Structure 1
Amino acid sequence: MSESEEDFKARAHIADARHSTIIQLAHGIAPADDSVLEQMSVGIDFITDFWRDKYLREYISAGGSKIKFITGQSGSGKTHLLHLLSNLARKEHFVTVSFSAKEVWLHDFKEIYLEILRQSDVLKILEDCSRKVINEMGFDWQDIPQGKVFIDYLGELGLADGITRREIRLQLKTLFLDNPLLDNNFALACSLICGGILGHPFLEQQSRQLLLSFLHGDSNVKLSSLRPLGLSASRITKFNARHMLRSLSEIIRLSGHAGLFITIDDVDILLDGSALNPMHYTKMKRDDTYESLRQLIDDIDSLHNIMFIFAFERALIDNENSGMKSYQALWMRVQNEIVSGKLNRFGDLLDLDSAASQMYDAEAIVQMSRKLARIVNSIDIDAQTINPEQVDEILQLAKTGGISIPRLVNRSTLGNIEGEKAHV
């Protein structure tokens, strides 16, 4: 019996996924599959569990804000840790945003904010806010039939009178317009969109799209078109982007989430001097990035329910000509974390190379290898758990500082896997 087209596509998809996983593992890249990522995590839980308990469950969800930096050489597990932390944050009901500095410019905070907004799905957040309004008025949003707005549902119950409509407007005013943490334009746009979701005050589809385009920083929006809706004629810029971010984190909290969790990887791209790189940073752009980071550090206490984690290779710290040391205003704010050299889980900088001795003893290294071998064997590639002699060799090589322990374990466990990838 011939194979159906659907079966063939399904089998091809599985083969592609296996091939992708093998490539990622062979090159020390954190696998995209969350289940694989968690299966192969060893030793790092003394960081992830601590940050989950102290930050996600307590400090950030209670209204605090934090910036942390993760550094280490290539293959030390920076991206792996970012993925794990994002997974934990989602489970703790945070809105999570993750991107690479290879994809988003960092010298203009407006670009960072717009990427955060894009991934946050502001319309879904405002839908959750509208449900909060419904609940505050003594109704259950789940009782409203799909496709029907709240005001029409009230009409069927004979409750869509002037008093009820006024109560809806008061709820929106309290939630958005009277909220001191919200930018005026941002608050009014959210109030109007939420009203449209509820069915009162009525909002035309064209106006709704205009407001969403404004929130997303669309440069094609004519400022004059905002005035009839009550908004002032202003755009999102690098100067007001942090204030807009505070507004975004506030509506995320209002929607019922614990907060906003943001990871930015590959910040060391600032050191890439190749003019062929589409994300090439000139000295001016690099200094603007450092200044933007400096401002974020200084302003972080004005934000609420938000956590930033930046990851980069150690060279961004050590390079005196182009790294953080080259921008004194930023270096003054981070140098104490770096000079101390002691692992402090409350500290603002986590050096995975320095922490390796506490994360990876001989038992943890064998466990890491065993988990890796099990995953690879499950996709029909032969891999063997390392032996005690290999463990000793890994520990000795790691002391030289040339290659990270996770990368050494990968190499020893996977062996010459490159030649086998073609058969996956």
Structure 2
Amino acid sequence: MIDSDKYLEFFSQEYLTSYIPRGGTTTKFVLPPSGEEANFVDAICSQAQSSGHLVARIDSATSKVQMIEQIFFGIARQIDWQKLANSFTRIAAHSAGYPVPNDDQDLSLAMLAFSYGADEREVKRDINIVLQQRIFKDYSMVGEFRIAMMRLCQYELKSGQVTELERDSIIAWLEGSLRQISLLKSALIFRKISRSNARAMLFSLSRWIVANGYEGFLLTLDIRQFQKLRKEPDIESPGIIYSRNAVMDAYESLRQLIDNADEFSNFATIVVISPEFLSDDSRGLSAYQALKLRIYDEVRDKNRDNPYSSLISLSSSTAEELSQDLLDGNLATLKEVSH
């Protein structure tokens, strides 16, 4: 086992402040000390945010995560799409020659034209050219995602190019709550996000986050709920109960995240697991060999832990210190008795 505090420090130095900002991608399966899971997630998210990363948390007890599109929807509901669009539109306006002095100043096309004594049509054309170059021609993002981000940015200009209904429909589409895809025909988006295109949407999101000035993206995914077989009668909110087939589907989605690492950039996933994930032959790691072969170290050093491993078990710093104190106390007692 690796000391929890030491691993947090290691992950910050080796991944959050170096590897991920340089375009790296990693997926770690972490077993925190018992009872300290929430504290571990809070700590690693806090480190990521202080290092300039955008953070999203998903708990399988409250969000269905057996399909990759459901993971994307869970992330999308935590993203402030308007804030990102507003930020990027300001970047585009600056590149087009119309810098906005501060974040509080109005970004509307009319205000920009008035501030710079320019014709609205010229300002609109110049900014649209930059948006097309930096979004629509950025082929590291899939076409539907590029169109959606273009429309959200154009809405921020309040130029009439995109209506409020269209903006709201795009955000609902990203979050998986859009009922009628026909509402997006005007935006040239014709299909919902599903299992077939969710991975592409996810790596497009990581690219979009970096384009907005973030160092990268950290996702924490708590899958401890997978090992619960039934609802406990004495618990008011037991959370979602997953069938074995649903658990296998979730493992397949995680396997795909690992295998598609080359398509992602600036992306880190921390999967929080329970001890049963390692010991349960029916619903744990051993039940899905395709995932086990990718994260399990068959050859390990007996005396040294490997913090770079994909599968990490952590120990409590407090527990280790207490054990050492007890050991020191026992040795002192023995010494007194011997004297």
Normalised by the shorter chain, which TM-score bucket? 0.7 to 0.9
Match of 2:186 in 1: 228
CA contact (8 A) 2:27 2:258 kept: yes
> RCO higher in 1 or 2 (8 Å CA, sep ≥ 6)?
2
Task: Return the offset for 1:301.
Answer: 2.2
In structure 2, what is the Cα distance between the partners aligned to 1:391 and 1:282? Answer: 48
CA contact (8 A) 1:70 1:78 kept: no
1:117 to 50, 71, 76: 76
- The reply to whether residue 47 of structure 1 matches residue 4 of structure 2 is no
- The reply to whether residue 215 of structure 1 matches residue 183 of structure 2 is no
TM-score by length of 1: 0.70
Counterpart of 1:226 in 2: which secondary structure? helix
CA contact (8 A) 2:107 2:157 kept: no
Match of 1:56 in 2: 16
Residue 78 of structure 1 aligns with an amino acid whose one-letter code is E
Q: Report which of the two has the higher share of helix.
A: 1
Match of 1:249 in 2: 206
CA contact (8 A) 2:21 2:215 kept: yes
- The reply to whether residue 94 of structure 1 matches residue 65 of structure 2 is no
2:108 to 117, 128, 149: 149
CA contact (8 A) 1:117 1:248 kept: no
In structure 2, what is the Cα distance between the partners aligned to 1:278 and 1:338? Answer: 37
Residue 299 of structure 1 aligns with an amino acid whose one-letter code is N
In structure 2, what is the Cα distance between the partners aligned to 1:70 and 1:106? Answer: 18
The one-character-per-residue Cα deviations of 1:52-85 (angstroms, maximum 9, x if unpaired) are: 121111111111111011115523x333222111
Give runs of aligned pairs for residues 74-89 of structure 1, distance below 5 A: 74-75=34-35, 77-89=36-48
Match of 1:270 in 2: 226
Distance change in 2, residues 1:339/1:291 (3 Å)? farther
Residue 246 of structure 1 aligns with an amino acid whose one-letter code is F
Distance change in 2, residues 1:204/1:337 (3 Å)? farther
Counterpart of 2:296 in 1: which secondary structure? helix
In structure 1, what is the Cα distance between the partners aligned to 2:139 and 2:57? Answer: 28
Post-superposition, which runs of at least 4 consecutive aligned residues in structure 1 deviate over 6 A?
Answer: none
Match of 1:350 in 2: 312
CA contact (8 A) 1:324 1:330 kept: yes
In structure 1, what is the Cα distance between the partners aligned to 2:262 and 2:299? Answer: 22
TM-score by length of 2: 0.86
CA contact (8 A) 1:73 1:313 kept: no
In structure 2, what is the Cα distance between the partners aligned to 1:216 and 1:201? Answer: 24
Distance change in 2, residues 1:145/1:252 (3 Å)? closer
In structure 1, what is the Cα distance between the partners aligned to 2:134 and 2:242? Answer: 41
Residue 225 of structure 1 aligns with an amino acid whose one-letter code is L
Task: Return the offset for 1:198.
Answer: 2.1
Counterpart of 1:95 in 2: which secondary structure? strand
Match of 2:275 in 1: 314
Counterpart of 1:107 in 2: which secondary structure? coil
1:169 to 114, 128, 144: 128
Match of 1:301 in 2: 262
In structure 1, what is the Cα distance between the partners aligned to 2:82 and 2:32? Answer: 37
Give runs of aligned pairs for residues 180-195 of structure 1, distance below 5 A: 180-195=139-154
In structure 2, what is the Cα distance between the partners aligned to 1:262 and 1:337? Answer: 27
Distance change in 2, residues 1:143/1:388 (3 Å)? closer
Match of 1:66 in 2: 26
Task: Return the offset for 1:99.
Answer: 2.7
Identity of aligned residues (%): 23
Distance change in 2, residues 1:165/1:85 (3 Å)? same
CA contact (8 A) 2:107 2:156 kept: no
In structure 2, what is the Cα distance between the partners aligned to 1:280 and 1:392? Answer: 46
Counterpart of 2:153 in 1: which secondary structure? helix
Distance change in 2, residues 1:72/1:49 (3 Å)? closer
Task: Return the offset for 1:391.
Answer: 7.2
Distance change in 2, residues 1:145/1:256 (3 Å)? closer
In structure 1, what is the Cα distance between the partners aligned to 2:206 and 2:197? Answer: 15
CA contact (8 A) 2:25 2:267 kept: yes
Task: Return the offset for 1:185.
Answer: 1.5
In structure 1, what is the Cα distance between the partners aligned to 2:220 and 2:153? Answer: 29
Residue 18 of structure 2 aligns with an amino acid whose one-letter code is E
In structure 1, what is the Cα distance between the partners aligned to 2:226 and 2:201? Answer: 25
CA contact (8 A) 2:109 2:123 kept: no
In structure 2, what is the Cα distance between the partners aligned to 1:72 and 1:205? Answer: 44
Residue 227 of structure 1 aligns with an amino acid whose one-letter code is K
CA contact (8 A) 2:109 2:120 kept: no
In structure 1, what is the Cα distance between the partners aligned to 2:300 and 2:326? Answer: 35
CA RMSD after TM alignment: 2.6
The one-character-per-residue Cα deviations of 1:337-381 (angstroms, maximum 9, x if unpaired) are: 68656411222121114xx5xx5686x449xxxxxxxxxxxxxxx
CA contact (8 A) 1:72 1:314 kept: no
